[in-house]
């Protein structure tokens, strides 16, 4: 008897000791909300929990792209509910909205969880091998490349969304893959104009390209049995010169840097194919050797975002870099940034910092002061068939032109801002001085 009572007592103590953990619930029951920035604005997720399960998930995403964002808002709540976790696959073609939903859902779960582990779920890392400042087209590409080199990567983005200028662009890309050209109509009239140029029409560095294009075009025009359109890297180079040539407001001749353009153009096929493989769909662009994503720059950035994040880059939005940290030798070792709460945060970069904050195109003051270019394209005869389609950006006109008097702005395919020749620079500077 005595022995039994000791055993019973021991069992009772054990039960008492283990009882709290058996009884401990996973969640604090209740309803929790969290938001994350999606494609066009805040995506808010609201989740209800009982002690051990997620019982309801709803998403409010009023600013996402109609026809695409709703694929994620429709499917993900049930997927999260079924899986009882925010660790579910994003919906392809709506990856940015998906990521926002999943990020916000993870934050709801973190709020509802009782254990310490969950509390760290939404913590922002502050150290990486490489820190990229800016999550535009360039920053996302840089982040992916750094990850491929084996570096851990953090991308700091001042805006609430990724994508920078490309998000509001058509997303046109140079692409002249052979199979693609084969799908296009013959373009005899379009390319015949190149035969009228002479070496004197181009700077010396374009001589070989002109020779190549003229030989190609002659052969193409002679071979009437050939199907598809003619295009080539050499032709793109000539077009970049012809379109990029101009005179600045001080009368100097200017054109795009040859090596810079060539580096990008030569990789056009690799770049396109990688984006296409990740789901980007295109149609023929509005001018030669251009393809345009079906959903414009939004689609381009969605795919770039997917590539960068699939590679393992972490992107932190609403975080503006304001300074670089350097060590005693002058080496850049980190970034000082302002987080969404207005707090100053230091990010440590073990191997380096890549600044991909774009140009000064969005800074009116600097545009007025430094953009010293006016449109004087050489796309006049003898190549009248090449369309002179300067993408005029109505929103820019609306927001900037009033401040600049009668001056109007447009943006070229290369991202350069073109200011029509009137009013003269002095008047623009005067206009700048009168800005509030």
Ligand X SMILES: Cc1cc2nc3c(=O)[nH]c(=O)nc-3n(C[C@H](O)[C@H](O)[C@H](O)COP(=O)(O)OP(=O)(O)OC[C@H]3O[C@@H](n4cnc5c(N)ncnc54)[C@H](O)[C@@H]3O)c2cc1C
Would you tell me which residues interact with ligand X (CB under 6 A)?
Answer: 133-139, 156-159, 164-166, 168-172, 320-321, 356-358, 391, 393, 411, 413, 415
Nearer to ligand X, 38 or 77 (CB): 38
The string over 285-311, giving b where at least 16 C-beta atoms fall within 10 Å of a residue's C-beta and e elsewhere, is bebbbbbbbebbbbbbbbbbbbbbbee
Which CB sits closer to ligand X, 86 or 154?
A: 154
* Shortest CB 425 distance to ligand X, Å: 22
Closest to ligand X by CB, 19 or 370: 370
- What residues have CB less than 8 Å from 218, skipping those under 6 apart? 195
Report strand pairing: 253-254 vs 246-248. Answer: antiparallel
Judged by beta carbon, residue 112 or residue 316, the one nearer ligand X is: 316
CB of 268 vs ligand X, minimal distance in Å: 11
In whole angstroms, the minimum distance from the beta carbon of 192 to ligand X comes to 26
Q: What DSSP string runs through 95-136? A: HHHHHHHHHHHHHHHHHHB-SHHHHTTTPPP-EEEEEEE--S
φ and ψ at residue 187, rounded to 5 degrees: -125, 45
Distance (Å, rounded) from C-alpha 87 to C-alpha 67?
A: 24
Cα distances (angstroms) measured from residue 116 to each of 110, 113, 222:
9, 8, 75
CB-nearer residue toward ligand X: 214 or 298: 298
Angle CA 380–217–246, to nearest 5: 25
Q: Nearer to ligand X by C-beta: 98 or 298?
A: 298
State the nearest-atom distance from the C-beta of 348 to ligand X, in Å: 16
| Rounded-to-integer distance, Cα 406 and Cα 412, Å | 20
Minimum Å gap between C-beta 160 and ligand X is 9
Question: Minimum distance from CB of 395 to ligand X (Å)?
Answer: 8
DSSP result, 370-421 = H--EEE--S-STT-TTS----B--HHHHHHHGGGGTT--EEE-TTS-EEE-S
Q: Which residues of 342-370 are buried (b: 16+ CB within 10 A; e: fewer)?
A: eeeeebebeeebbbbbbeebeebeebbee
Closer residue to ligand X, CB minimum distance, 382 or 415: 415
Instruction: Tell me the closest approach of the beta carbon of residue 320 to ligand X, in angstroms.
Output: 4
| CA-closest candidate to residue 112, choices 20, 25, 21 | 25
Least Cβ distance, residue 199 to ligand X (angstroms) = 29
Which CB sits closer to ligand X, 105 or 315? 315
- Residue placing its CB nearer to ligand X in the complex, 137 or 383: 137
Alpha-carbon distance of 281 to 7, in angstroms, equals: 72
User: Within its chain, how far is the Cα of 334 from the centroid?
Assistant: 23
CB of 87 to ligand X, least distance (A): 27
| Residue 391 C-beta: closest distance to ligand X, Å | 5
Q: Positive or negative, the Cα torsion across 195, 201, 204, 205?
A: negative
Distance CA 394, CA 400 (A): 10
Distance CA 408, CA 420 (A): 6
Residue number, 197 or 418, with CB nearest to ligand X: 418
Q: Which is nearer to ligand X, 376 or 393 (CB)?
A: 393
Q: Distance (Å, rounded) from C-alpha 378 to C-alpha 431?
A: 29
Q: Output the smallest distance, CB 282 to ligand X, in A.
A: 12
Of residues 39, 86, 90, the one with CA closest to residue 67: 39
């Amino acid at each position: 008897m005595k022995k039994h009572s000791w055993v019973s007592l021991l069992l009772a103590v054990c039960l008492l000791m283990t009882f709290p953990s058996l009884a401990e619930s996973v969640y604090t029951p209740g309803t929790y909300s969290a938001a994350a920035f999606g494609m066009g604005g805040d995506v808010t997720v609201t989740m209800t929990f009982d002690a051990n399960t997620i019982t309801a998930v709803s998403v409010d995403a009023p600013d996402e792209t109609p026809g695409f964002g709703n694929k994620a808002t429709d499917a993900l709540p049930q997927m999260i509910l079924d899986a009882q976790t925010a660790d579910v696959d994003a919906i392809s073609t709506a990856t940015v909205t998906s990521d926002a939903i999943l990020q916000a859902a993870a934050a709801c779960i973190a709020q509802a969880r009782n254990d310490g582990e969950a509390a760290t779920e939404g913590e922002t890392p502050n150290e990486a091998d490489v820190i990229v400042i800016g999550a535009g087209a360039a920053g996302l590409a840089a982040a992916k490349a750094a990850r491929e080199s084996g570096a851990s990567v953090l991308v700091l983005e001042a805006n609430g969304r990724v994508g920078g200028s490309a998000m509001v662009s058509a997303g046109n890309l140079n692409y002249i893959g052979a199979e693609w050209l084969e799908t296009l109509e013959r373009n005899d009239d379009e390319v015949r104009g190149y035969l009228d140029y002479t070496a004197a029409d181009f700077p010396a560095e374009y001589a070989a390209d002109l020779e190549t294009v003229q030989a190609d075009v002659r052969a193409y025009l002679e071979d009437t049995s050939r199907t598809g359109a003619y295009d080539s890297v050499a032709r793109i180079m000539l077009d970049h010169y012809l379109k990029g040539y101009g005179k600045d407001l001080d009368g100097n001749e200017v054109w795009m840097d040859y090596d810079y353009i060539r580096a990008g153009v030569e990789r056009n096929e690799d770049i396109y194919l990688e984006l296409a493989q990740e789901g980007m769909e295109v149609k023929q662009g509005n001018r030669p050797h251009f393809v345009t994503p079906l959903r414009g720059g939004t689609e381009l950035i969605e795919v770039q975002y997917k590539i960068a994040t699939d590679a393992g880059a972490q992107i932190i939005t609403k975080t503006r870099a304001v300074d670089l940290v350097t060590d005693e030798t002058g080496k850049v070792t980190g970034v000082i940034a302002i987080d969404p709460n207005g707090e100053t945060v230091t990010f440590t970069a073990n191997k380096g910092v890549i600044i991909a904050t774009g140009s000064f195109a969005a800074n009116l003051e600097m545009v007025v002061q430094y953009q010293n270019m006016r449109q004087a394209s050489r796309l006049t005869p003898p190549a009248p068939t090449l369309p002179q389609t300067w993408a005029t950006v109505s929103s820019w006109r609306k927001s900037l032109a009033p401040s600049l008097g009668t001056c109007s702005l447009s943006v070229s395919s290369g991202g350069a801002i073109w200011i029509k020749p009137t009013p003269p620079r002095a008047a623009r500077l005067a206009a700048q001085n009168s800005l509030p």
